[in-house]
Amino acid sequence: MSHTCKNLLIRCMDFRLNAEVERWTKESGIFEGGFDVLSVAGACKSLTDGNEEVKDNFLSNVFVSTALHEVCKIVIFHHSDCGAYARSYQFSSREEEKKKQIEDMKKAKEIIHEKYPNVEIVLVFGAMKDGEGREIEFEKIN
């Protein structure tokens, strides 16, 4: 039996996302070949603004997925109305929150790409259409 998969999904642990993210992973076509999940508060927030120990712990989880499961694509997924970001920042609008999160996603991509240059990294932002996460608009970020 093979213990490999093609993808790693790095996502926020927010339970409100579960149903829509599950639907998206099945329908998007991005996760062909299976996927691991790294689920932490704020998705990549701790990688971009955590202390060195926190960053090392985050990257050790990425290492397990790439080394043991031979992952060749990492999908970084952030979302609006994120509690981890709300604890750290006072956003004046959803646009300001999205801008900061996209900035962090791009920074995380650079950090991960430096360690794993042969892994494709895809950034996706989810705009929650309600406070419950019943509808999320998924947007690929360039």
For 68-122, what is each residue's pLDDT tens digit? 999 999 999 999 999 999 999 999 999 999 999 999 999 999 999 999 999 999 9
Question: Which homologous superfamily is 7-141 in?
Answer: Carbonic anhydrase (3.40.1050.10)
Interval 125-133 mean pLDDT = 92
Interval 41-64 mean pLDDT = 94
Query: CA separation (Å) from 116 to 109, 123, 133?
Result: 10, 16, 32
Instruction: Lay out the sheet containing 35-40: strands in order across.
Output: 35-40, 7-12, 73-79, 120-128, 136-141
pLDDT the model gives residue 48: 95
pLDDT the model gives residue 90: 93
Sign of the dihedral through C-alpha 88, 106, 77, 96 = positive
Domain segments of the chain: what residues?
Answer: 7-141
* Residue found by looking up tokens 């998924």 in the block: 138
Global pTM reads 0.95
pLDDT the model gives residue 3: 84
Residue 45: pLDDT above 80? yes
